[in-house]
Structures are given as structure tokens and as C-alpha cells.
Amino acid sequence: MLQVLSPKPSGAKLDARSTAMSPRDLVESAKSLVRRRYLLILIIFALSVVCGAIYLLVASPKYLAQAELLIEAKKNQPFQQPQQMLAEATTDSLAIDSDIQVLKSENVGLLVIKELHLTESPEFVGSRPGFLRTLLGLAPSSAAMSESVLQQRAYGVFRNGLFPRRIPGTYVIEVGFLSTNPELAARIANATANALITDQLEAKYQAIKTGSDWLQDRIKELREQASAAERTALDFKKAHNIVVDKEGRSITDQQLSELNTQLVVARAASADTRARLDRISEITKSDISDIDNVLRTPDPAISDALHSDVINKLRSEYLDLASRSSILEPRLGHDHLAIVSFRNQMFEIRRSIFAELKRIQETLKSDLNIALAREQSFQKSLADVVAQSQSTNQERVALKDLDSNAQALRTIHDNFAQRYTESLQQLSFPYPEARLITHASIGTKSQPNTTMVLFLASANGLLLGFGIAFLIDLTEGGFRTVEQVERELRANCLAVVPLVNIPAVTTYADNAVPKRIEQGGILNNVISAPFSRFAEAFRAVKVGIDLAAMTSSGKAKTIGITSTLPNEGKSTAAANLARLIAHTGGKTILVDCDLRNPSLTRALAPGAEIGLLDVLSGKCHLSEAVWADAATSLLFLPMVAQVRPAHTNEILASLEMKKLIATLEQAYDYVLVDLPPLMPVVDVRSTTQLVDCYLYVVQWGQTSVEVVERALSSAHQVYEKLLGVILNKADLETMRNYSGDGDAGYKNRYYERYGFDD
């Protein structure tokens, strides 16, 4: 078969195809849409442009005036704290957006309306009522409206005409106003900018005043609370006899500190005295002769004793005698009288020193007793003060809480007083957060923008025209182009048969000759108009059949011709194709196998009394039932039934039918079988064992794509043997607008060169 793609497996849907379109396909589709619907698109485009022009003629011109406001990023206010200046050093985008919303607010709008007396302007409150309301006297006048209603109406117009925006990358707000009066537009833009500044000052003044009033009340309340807390602390001190110094310490705490210090000093003195006494006692317990070592090298323990004038004098004498003795003794000898005298004197000095040490020992004992007594006295006093302090600890804790509360309240009071002073300073020196840097001049014409209106009207006209054209295309059903047939059905489109307005039957070839096929009408158009595109289409079908016969080893002799639904022209196609083949010299027989509706028999052999069923039943021979065409030598086997057959599919699938087809294949080169439509009846599915290939006739622009796909999907064996599709009853003039190459393939002048006369 000459299918574009291999047949699908059983059960597969025919529409499993890619819907992706390349940019070139989209362009071609758009061009094709323009060719088909150019008149509709032009009409809609022209109407849209005319509407735009009418709007330009009737619309009142409006003028735009613009003023510029600078939002201060650094608010250098008098008496402002450095930390506040640092915190307010930058202004974020949200603050500027908030200022834009304030410009649109009712407060600012009413300020401008009152300042410029806009309630007296016809543009703001003098909107024209409808003709019917004016005629009936239902339209209220401006004088009859209350001031609040006029202000609200004026504010609505003001809000619609105001266009504030932030200039990107800056802290500047552009305040624009649109009005029919250019001077009024400039005045309103400037007044709106000034109204924002006034509103900010008023809002800041009110906020500071409200805060100052609240701070004043709060300061008074805090002053009373702090005074009450301080009085409570003083009363508590009096009640519990608690006396404290400037630093908040009580006398008991001072006594404890002093007694602790004195006790530590007393204990140190006692320990020192005891240590000196112990060392001297240790020396005095030894022999007098042992004191010589002490005199020569005294230890630190009795250094204080050696500081005595008596001991120092005796020690000097002793050391002098010892020195002289040590010098003379080696020369005079140990027993010399002078040496002995020195030793006696030294002994007396040691005894005197020993006696002086005894006296110092007694003195240290007395000092130790005094130090111990003093230490005990300090310790007793400390114990008494500690006992007294422990008895007043609970009162002191309560007093501390009272003092802390009073101090906290006093600190809060002082902070609020400082804030109150700052708020009074700010109230005296208000500073706005915005300033007007550019005053609006007389407005320039802004609306309507002629270029923009015409551009939008043209663009909308084109979009609307294309949209409506596209919707119309979507509502159209059926196959429109060869490409669509091959894409949707994945089968070759063998020919496009143009629509020919000729009656089905006009005249007889020869009424006197029995069993002669009628010659006139559309069924004989390939013979009566051989140089027409109608005939050329069937020649293309014959070429397809011949090519299929060559590529399939001659198995394209029995050809079934069917369609999806009735009235698609399958019988007309079968008759013309059969006559064309027979006219070219091929032995051809046309068999009407539409057992339920033999329309071909009624057209070609209306007087037939016997036909296919009689041959199958053996009531007559094939030669007795066949009709002939004198012009083309075509043979036709009609279908005649005295009683409407019930099981036509069984008849077509019968053994007798197979034998008949086999006999016809042996006797003829081409066996064309006119079959019933595929969708209403199942007869065609019973012929798959009889027919070598099928020709599928589809009416151009009428038969739904989905219906054709469903019909072929339900008959897989028919689809597998599908030779090709004949797109029938095509309007070539319209069809060329659906083709991707435009009208190149369907222009009559190309066919006229080769002798076509249609």
C-alpha cells in the first residue's frame, strides 16, 4: 500500500501524533489564515480604527501638569538628639510609597478642594446628567446638593485625575494632575504638593501635642508616686530607728566594719607580743653563758629588745672587750691577768644584759595581757553589734525595697520630664519631611494621545480580527487540505476531486439497447469532460492503483471503494474511476456491493431486474446480470433485491461471494467494488478477505476528522489495506487558502497551459 506511515497496531488510535509546530509552520498557518479570512480581518480592523478615530473626535482634551516633591532623607530638626539623627538618616521605599498614598488620601484631597474652591468648578461637580433624566427633571442641580456631597463628588474627580509617582532611584515624588483646564491642572498639582507638606506638619503637631499632654499627665502621676514612695521609706526608717549615711549605709554596718578592723588589729598585736615574749622567754631560760651568741649575732625575734639603750650600751662595751681580748690573748696567753680581767668584765656585762632581758620579759607579759584584754573587748563588742544587726536584717531588706522603688520612680519621672522638655521644643519648631522643589507650570496636552489611541485601535482590531477568524476556523469541521489528510490519517491522499455541479443523471445513451449504462450526469463526467481537473483527479487515482499493483506483486485488482458516511460521493467516485480505467483500455467491471442502499444501481441501471444476489444464489449467470457501457466498454454488476436483505455482512463474507470475486479477478484487469459507508453498517469489515485494497472517499470540509478517525480505528483490517484517500467535492478556490503554499498548487493558469478547460 502507499501509506505514508506503517499501519498502526491493532487497538491504537489514529490521532497519536505530535502537535508541536515549528516557527515556520506557525508563520505558514498565520499566512493561510489571512488568505482565508482577509476580508473579515480587514473589516474588523477598519471598524476598530474608525472607533478610535471617533473617540479622538468626541473626547475632550486633558492637560497634565506636574510638580516635584523632595522627601527629606535627613531630617535635621532643631534640638534633635544625635542618636535620633542617626536613626533617621535614611528613608526607605516604604516611607515614600506611604507618602504617595497620603497624596491620594481624602484629607489631602479635601484640603485642595477647600483651598481652590473646586466645589464651584463644573469639571468637578457639574457632570452632565443623562438626556432622559434631564427631560424628566430628575437630575439634581449643584445648588440642591449639600456641601458634603459636593466635596465627595469633587474628591472622586480629584482622585481620578491625580497621578503621583516616585522618580526611580531618587527621593523625589512627581505629583501630576490631569484636567481639561491647563491652568487649573497646574494649580491643583502645586496645591496637592503643598497640602502634603501641610498635612505632615499638622500630623506632626498633633502627634507631638498629644504626646506632650500625655507626658504631662504621666509626669504628674509619676511625681506623686515617687514622693509617696520616698515618704514611705522615711516613715519606715523612723519607725525602726534605722539611720543611714549619704551612701545608704546604716550605723550598724559602720560599727561592724570598724569593730572588724579593730579586732583584726588587736589580734595581730596580741600575736606579735606573744611571739616576742616566747622568744625572750626561751633565751632567759638558758644559761648566762649562752647569751654570748645572742650578743654577737642577735636573731630577729629579740631585735626590739636590743634596741634598748641599756642593752645597746652594754653590748657595745661587751663587743669592745671581746675584740681587745681576741687581739691580746694570742700574745699574752689565756691565763694572763689582763685576759682574765677582760673575761671578768665581759661576764659582768652579760649578767647585766641578762637582767635587762628579764625586765623586758616582764614588760612583754604585761603588754600581752593588755592586748588580750583589748582583743576580748573588741570581740565582745562585735558580737553585740552582730546580734543587733541580725535583729534588724528583715527591716533593712524591706527598707531596701522601699528605697529601690522610690529611686526607680524618681528615675522614670526624670526621664519623662526630659522627654516632655524635648517635645515642647519640637512643638515650638515643627519641621516638615518634604519640600516642594519644582512648581507645576501650565499643563501640556496628555489625553487623548492620538498616536497611542490609533495604535491601540489598530492593534486591537488586528487581534480581534485574527481571534474571530481563528474561532471561525475552530468551528469548521472536516478535512481541508491534502496535508491535513495525510497528517491526521497517516495515509496518502491520492487525489483531490473538485466539486462539479452536474445532476446525477441527465440522458440515456440509447434507450433502445437493453442493459446499457446511462451516459449522462456526474457519473460520466470523466468521459464527457476529459480535459477537466475532475478527470485529472481520477487519473491520479488510477496511477496510484497501478503503482500499488507493481509494488505489491499485482495484488491490487479488487479495489473496494467506501466512505465514512453516506452522501460523501463514493458511488460517484467509483463510477467515474471505473469508466476512466475502462476508457484507457483496461478490462474493468464495477460491482455494486452496497446491499442495503444500492444508489449506484439506481443511477446506472435503474431498470435492472436481476443482479448480484441472483448471481450469488445461482438463479442466473453472471453474463445475464451484467450491464455494459457502450462508450467505455465498462461492465457493471448491479444490486437488485426484491426483499430487503437482513444479514448483508454474511452475504459479503460468504463462500459464493469469494468465488464470484475470484472469477472476476481472472476475467478482468480491474474489479471495482462499490461498498456501503463504514460508519453506519458493518458490511465493509466483512469484505477484507475479498478486497485487495481500499479507496477511502472523504467529503471535503464536511466529514468530521474525529468521525473518520473513529471509523478507521474500528476497522483495523480496512485501514491496513487502505490504498489511499480521495478528498471529494473540494472547493478549489477556497481550498487554496488552506494550503501552506497558498494558491500555488491550485491556480487555474497552471492547468490552462496543459489544456484544462475548467
Look at residue 218 and give its three-state secondary structure.
helix
pTM over 0.75, yes/no: no
Give me the pLDDT at residue 9, please.
39
How wide is the angle at C-alpha 24 spanned by C-alphas 21 and 27, nearest 5°? 95
The number of angstroms, rounded, from the C-alpha of 246 to the middle of its chain's C-alpha atoms is: 68
* Alpha-carbon distance values, 322 to 344, 350, 388 (Å): 11, 12, 64
Phi and psi angles of residue 330, each rounded to the nearest 5 degrees, phi first:
-65, -30
> If pLDDT is split at 50, 70 and 90, which confidence band does 590 have?
very high
The set of cell numbers assigned to 442 is: 501650565
> If pLDDT is split at 50, 70 and 90, which confidence band does 687 have?
very high
* Alpha-carbon distance values, 528 to 520, 535, 567, 575, 601 (Å): 8, 9, 23, 13, 20
* Alpha-carbon distance values, 248 to 235, 243, 663 (Å): 16, 9, 138
CA 129/CA 452 separation, integer angstroms: 30
Query: Other CB atoms closer than 10 Å to residue 623's CB: what's the count?
Result: 8
Which of 332-341, 582-591, 638-647 is most confident?
A: 582-591
Closest CA to 370 of 273, 275, 304: 273
CA 103/CA 175 separation, integer angstroms: 8
* Alpha-carbon distance values, 539 to 494, 530, 580, 629 (Å): 10, 10, 7, 19
CA 352/CA 600 separation, integer angstroms: 177
The answer, yes or no, to whether residue 509 has pLDDT greater than 60, is no
CA 450/CA 459 separation, integer angstroms: 14
CA 197/CA 431 separation, integer angstroms: 10
**CB-based contact 226:410 (threshold 8 Å):** yes
Query: Other CB atoms closer than 10 Å to residue 448's CB: what's the count?
Result: 18
CA 672/CA 655 separation, integer angstroms: 19
Query: Other CB atoms closer than 10 Å to residue 700's CB: what's the count?
Result: 26
Alpha helical stretches, state H, 392-440: 393-428
CA 273/CA 369 separation, integer angstroms: 9
Q: Provide Rg for the chain, Cα atoms.
A: 65
The set of cell numbers assigned to 126 is: 457639574
Give me the pLDDT at residue 580, please.
93
The answer, yes or no, to whether residue 119 has pLDDT greater than 80, is yes
CA 572/CA 672 separation, integer angstroms: 12
Residues comprising the chain, all counted: 758
Residues 6 or more apart from 213 whose CB is under 8 A from it? none
CA 582/CA 670 separation, integer angstroms: 9
> If pLDDT is split at 50, 70 and 90, which confidence band does 52 have?
confident
As a whole-number percent, the residues of the chain with pLDDT over 90 amount to 18
The DSSP secondary-structure symbol of 138 reads: -
CA 534/CA 728 separation, integer angstroms: 10
pLDDT tens digits along 332-365: 887 888 888 877 888 888 778 777 778 887 887 8
**CB-based contact 65:164 (threshold 8 Å):** no
> If pLDDT is split at 50, 70 and 90, which confidence band does 1 have?
very low
> If pLDDT is split at 50, 70 and 90, which confidence band does 277 have?
confident
Q: What is 447-480 written as a DSSP string?
A: ES-HHHHHHHHHHHHHHHHHHHHHHHHHH--S--
The answer, yes or no, to whether residue 83 has pLDDT greater than 80, is no
Give me the pLDDT at residue 657, please.
93
End-to-end CA distance of the chain: 32
| Angle between helical axes of 337-391 and 309-332 (0-180°, round to 10) | 150
The set of cell numbers assigned to 707 is: 468521525
Closest CA to 685 of 726, 717, 725: 717
Give me the pLDDT at residue 737, please.
72
Give me the pLDDT at residue 298, please.
57
> How many Cα atoms occupy the beta-carbon half-sphere of 404 within 13 Å?
6
pLDDT greater at residue 125 or residue 536: 536
H helix or E strand, kind and range, residue 698: strand 693-699
Which of 67-71, 290-294, 623-627 is most confident?
A: 623-627
> If pLDDT is split at 50, 70 and 90, which confidence band does 504 have?
low
pLDDT greater at residue 623 or residue 86: 623
pLDDT greater at residue 142 or residue 210: 210
pLDDT greater at residue 594 or residue 738: 594
CA 166/CA 143 separation, integer angstroms: 39
Alpha helical stretches, state H, 333-392: 337-391
> If pLDDT is split at 50, 70 and 90, which confidence band does 753 have?
low
The answer, yes or no, to whether residue 666 has pLDDT greater than 80, is yes
CA 319/CA 346 separation, integer angstroms: 9
**CB-based contact 626:579 (threshold 8 Å):** no
> If pLDDT is split at 50, 70 and 90, which confidence band does 86 have?
very low
Give me the pLDDT at residue 473, please.
73
Give me the pLDDT at residue 667, please.
92
pLDDT greater at residue 228 or residue 635: 635
pLDDT tens digits along 32-45: 777 777 788 899 98
**Peptide bond preceding 448: is omega within 30 degrees of 0, i.e. cis?**
yes
CA 564/CA 15 separation, integer angstroms: 16
Give the residue extent of every domain in the chain.
23-58+448-475, 62-213+425-447, 251-391, 482-752
**CB-based contact 637:615 (threshold 8 Å):** yes
Average pLDDT, the chain: 78
The answer, yes or no, to whether residue 569 has pLDDT greater than 80, is yes
Residues 6 or more apart from 269 whose CB is under 8 A from it? 371, 374, 375
The answer, yes or no, to whether residue 607 has pLDDT greater than 80, is yes
Give me the pLDDT at residue 13, please.
46
pLDDT greater at residue 191 or residue 405: 191
How wide is the angle at C-alpha 566 spanned by C-alphas 601 and 658, nearest 5°? 55
The CATH topology of domain 62-213+425-447 is Bacterial polysaccharide co-polymerase-like (3.30.1890)
The answer, yes or no, to whether residue 88 has pLDDT greater than 50, is no
> If pLDDT is split at 50, 70 and 90, which confidence band does 127 have?
low
Alpha helical stretches, state H, 481-598: 482-489, 525-528, 533-551, 570-583
The answer, yes or no, to whether residue 574 has pLDDT greater than 70, is yes
DSSP lists the bridge partners of residue 725 as 493, 696
The answer, yes or no, to whether residue 671 has pLDDT greater than 90, is yes
pLDDT greater at residue 10 or residue 588: 588
pLDDT greater at residue 38 or residue 425: 38
Query: Other CB atoms closer than 10 Å to residue 139's CB: what's the count?
Result: 15
CA 367/CA 304 separation, integer angstroms: 14
The CATH topology of domain 482-752 is Rossmann fold (3.40.50)
Give me the pLDDT at residue 16, please.
47
> If pLDDT is split at 50, 70 and 90, which confidence band does 426 have?
low
The set of cell numbers assigned to 723 is: 490504498
The set of cell numbers assigned to 290 is: 649562752
pLDDT greater at residue 62 or residue 394: 62
The number of angstroms, rounded, from the C-alpha of 632 to the middle of its chain's C-alpha atoms is: 75
Closest CA to 673 of 627, 649, 638, 645: 638
CA 38, 41, 43, 48 torsion-angle sign: negative
CA 87/CA 650 separation, integer angstroms: 99
Closest CA to 541 of 700, 684, 731, 670: 670
Q: Which residue is it, cell 501509506?
A: 3
CA 449/CA 455 separation, integer angstroms: 10
Q: Which residue is it, cell 491520479?
A: 540
* Alpha-carbon distance values, 12 to 678, 710, 714 (Å): 18, 11, 10
The answer, yes or no, to whether residue 746 has pLDDT greater than 70, is no
The answer, yes or no, to whether residue 540 has pLDDT greater than 80, is yes
> If pLDDT is split at 50, 70 and 90, which confidence band does 506 have?
very low
The answer, yes or no, to whether residue 251 has pLDDT greater than 80, is no
CA 637, 641, 644, 646 torsion-angle sign: negative
Point out the least confidently predicted range of 91-100, 216-225, 383-392, 540-549: 383-392
**CB-based contact 96:164 (threshold 8 Å):** no
pLDDT greater at residue 519 or residue 507: 519
Residues 6 or more apart from 151 whose CB is under 8 A from it? 110, 113, 119
